[in-house]
Amino acid sequence: MIRKMEPTLIVCGHGMVAQRFLEELVSKAPIPYRNIIVFNGETSAAYNRIQLSALLSGDADEESLTLKPDAWFARHGIRVHHGEAVQAIAPDKHTVTTSTGRVYRYDALVIATGASPARLGIPGEELNGVMHFRDLNDTRTLIELSQSRQRAVVVGGGFLGLEAAEGLLRRGMAVTVLHRSSHLLNRQLDPDSGKLLSDALTARGINVMTSTSPLQLLGRDSVRAIQLNDQTLICTDLVIIATGITPNRELAQNAGLACGRGIQVNAQLQTSAPDIFALGECCEFNDETFGLVEPGYQQAKILASVLAGPTEGAAYQPSVTATRLKISGIPVFSCGQQAPDEHTESLVWQDFATGSYSHLLVRDNRLVGAILIGNTSQGPWYQELIAGNADIDLFRAQLPFGKPFCKAAA
């Protein structure tokens, strides 16, 4: 039986970006949808995934991760179905079928299904004790396993992998990080800052191995060792794979929507079907996919404006986003271009006493990239200069020392 409730907006997925979209939408007046239905494949209410690392390390509890209480959804007339995912879309009928077999008709459909952890594609990946660090259930399992296992290997030296390593170290495990690149956070840091971060993590007790990758995982039922590409064997009780993500496009692809690596959308976040939209990690815009939450938040704001109408001027354009967080208590900031080329000049400053490092990339008297380790207080200002394409000629020499020195020089 088709349940018809018009006008109806259906949202597939309920992560951080989907929740931000709902908040942006209900802030508009009037909202053109009498019924808003959210299908959340997870059994837990929408939560802050960024804080999963704090939960793993023991610095946060599950309750603090919840984004909005049930009362907020009731107040705005939003119905959320936890543990019930949309399994099929029929664009010609304007219907979705859920995992319970129920069919709902929609006037507008938003796909916010996120992404899944990338697989290694090597033997042994199916063994017990091999897992990812992606959602709340993963985190609960890691906390439980850390109480009975002593050694962990994290494959991947990106943000997620390093956060998993820190959390497990805090839980008392011996941790090794394997990273294919020559330095950690190679998409955000240069080799020098990556080396500084690696040295700091080593000093904390994490064994960091770069320029290496696993060949196979060994064990009968549970993982017992990991063999590297140079034939080195590392004994372990637990393997966490953190080597990137893959956009969840299957739902859209099976419905006949245009997909590349992700679900292809235009500047209004509209898919190839006029009443279906996509945003966040599952979407692809101008051949680009998104692994950070900030672009998803920007998309949420645009899509809320599009659906609330009128749509004139509501268009998504990727802006300069920065990565700013702490890895094992070490502040890290990265924005814009990270690797120098023949057209850029590098301004590098390092304070060996405090462990602070700054690498600024300049092209044609414009700041185009900034990498900071340790003292990251000037990061937001550098981001403004990059985004605004500001002329820095008057304070070029003072730029590594921050805004106060530059203002004095100008």
Residue range 276-311, pLDDT digits in tens: 999 999 999 999 999 889 999 999 999 999 998 876
Contact 2, 8 (CB under 8 A): no
Residue 325 burial by CB count (10 A; 0-12/13-18/19+): exposed, middle or buried? Answer: middle
CATH number at residue 395: 3.30.390.30
Task: Identify the domain boundary among 188, 206, 241.
Answer: 241
Q: Are residues 237 and 249 in the same domain?
A: no
Distance CA 59, CA 282 (A): 30
Q: Are residues 179 and 270 in the same domain?
A: no
Token pair 């956070």 is found at 185
Measured in degrees and rounded to the nearest 5, phi and psi for residue 407 equal -65, -40
CA 331 to chain CA mean position, Å: 18
Read off the tokens for 378.
């000037």
Total domain count for the chain?
Answer: 3
**Domain span holding position 155:** 130-241
**Could you give the 3-state DSSP secondary structure of residue 119?**
coil
CATH number at residue 37: 3.50.50.60
Contact 325, 159 (CB under 8 A): yes
Contact 295, 323 (CB under 8 A): no
For the chain, 410 residues long, give each residue's pLDDT as a single digit of tens.
455 556 899 999 999 999 999 999 999 878 788 899 999 999 999 999 999 999 999 999 999 999 999 999 999 999 999 999 999 999 999 999 999 999 999 999 999 999 999 999 999 999 999 999 999 999 999 999 999 999 999 999 999 999 999 999 999 999 999 999 999 999 999 999 999 999 999 999 999 999 999 999 999 999 999 999 999 999 999 999 999 999 999 999 999 999 999 999 999 999 999 999 999 999 999 999 998 899 999 999 999 999 988 767 789 998 888 888 888 888 999 999 988 889 999 999 998 888 889 999 999 999 999 999 999 999 999 999 999 999 999 998 899 998 999 988 87
The H or E element that residue 163 is part of is helix 159-170
Angle, vertex CA 89, rays to CA 83 and CA 93, nearest 5: 130
Contact 48, 145 (CB under 8 A): no
Please check whether residue 196 lies inside any domain of the structure: yes
Contact 83, 208 (CB under 8 A): no
Task: Identify the domain boundary among 214, 241, 268.
Answer: 241
**Closest to 335 in 3D by CA, of 346, 320, 349:** 320
Distance CA 24, CA 27 (A): 5
Name, in order, each residue with C-beta under 8 angstroms of 119's C-beta and a sequence gap of 6 or more: 125, 241
pTM: 0.91
Q: Are residues 138 and 35 in the same domain?
A: no
Q: Are residues 190 and 265 in the same domain?
A: no
Read off the tokens for 93.
């009928």
Please check whether residue 293 lies inside any domain of the structure: yes
Q: β-pairing, 283-285 with 263-265?
A: parallel
Q: Are residues 91 and 29 in the same domain?
A: yes
